[in-house]
């Protein structure tokens, strides 16, 4: 029983056809979903950062088009998955106005479905604390089983990708905006968005 489950709809490509600093706050409250076989792993997005492309020294797109960052140029709504410090797979989604480049890094989720598989993937079965499980870009990658070779370039506006973003209408109550974390260049811009209430 209980309340009816809210209907989830896929985000459309047009959602991502806007500057990253506009898309990043709008992604708060949306749901990232990864299907592995019959198992669904999902969580509500509660922290994002915008990376502005060619004009942003902190962006992976700053130095221009290359094999490593091609997802950030061209079609929007694609998964940009990269390995950082040789250890952590992080997920961002390409977002920019036509003719530009850029993306939005997913920094934290509130886990929804598949929590025990997430805790297993994180290496401590049974440990389900949300902050530990999916609080941080590297933790999201590990908890959801995301890696560059499998997921880089997937279209998150299509369920067939097995990795997608949906909207169940809940959104995010109040948003706080701060400087971005973990960067040394262009560190002073207010481009980090955190969901305070869900």
Q: Where do contacts with DNA occur on this chain (CB under 7 A)?
A: 49, 51, 58-61, 63, 66-69, 72, 80, 83-88, 90, 92, 103, 105, 107, 122, 132, 136-140, 180-185
- The first and second tokens of residue 51, run together, are 């990376």
- Report whether 74 contacts 51 (CB < 8 A): no
CB 86, min distance to DNA, A: 3
CB 6, min distance to DNA, A: 28
Distance CA 53, CA 103 (A): 7
Largest CA distance in the chain: 54
User: Reduced to 3 states, what is the DSSP secondary structure of residue 137?
Assistant: helix
Listing DSSP states for 88-116 in one string gives: EEEEEEE---TT-B-EEEEEEEEEEE-HH
Task: Please name the residue that has the structure tokens 């989830």.
Answer: 8
43/103 with CB nearer DNA: 103
25/137 with CB nearer DNA: 137
CB 183, min distance to DNA, A: 5
173/182 with CB nearer DNA: 182
4/126 with CB nearer DNA: 126
CB 26, min distance to DNA, A: 16
Bridge-based pairing of strands 79-84 and 39-51 is: unpaired
């Amino acid at each position: 029983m209980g309340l009816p489950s809210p209907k989830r709809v896929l985000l459309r490509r047009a959602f991502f056809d806007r500057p990253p600093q506009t898309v990043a706050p709008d992604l708060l409250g949306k749901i990232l979903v990864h299907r592995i076989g019959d198992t669904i792993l999902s969580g509500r997005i509660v922290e994002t950062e915008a990376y502005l492309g060619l004009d942003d020294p902190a962006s992976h797109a700053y130095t221009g088009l290359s094999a490593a960052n091609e997802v950030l140029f061209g079609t929007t709504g694609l998964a940009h998955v990269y390995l950082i410090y040789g250890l952590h797979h992080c997920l961002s989604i390409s977002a920019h106005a036509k003719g530009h480049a850029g993306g939005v890094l997913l920094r934290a989720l509130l886990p929804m479905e598949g929590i025990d598989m997430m805790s297993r993937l994180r290496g401590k079965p049974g440990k389900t604390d949300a902050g530990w499980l999916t609080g941080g870009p590297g933790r999201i990658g590990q908890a959801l089983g995301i890696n560059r070779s499998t997921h880089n370039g997937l279209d998150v506006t299509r369920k067939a990708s097995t990795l997608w973003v949906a909207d169940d209408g809940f959104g995010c109550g109040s948003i706080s905006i701060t400087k971005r974390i973990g960067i040394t260049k262009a560190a002073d811009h207010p481009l980090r968005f955190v969901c305070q209430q869900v």
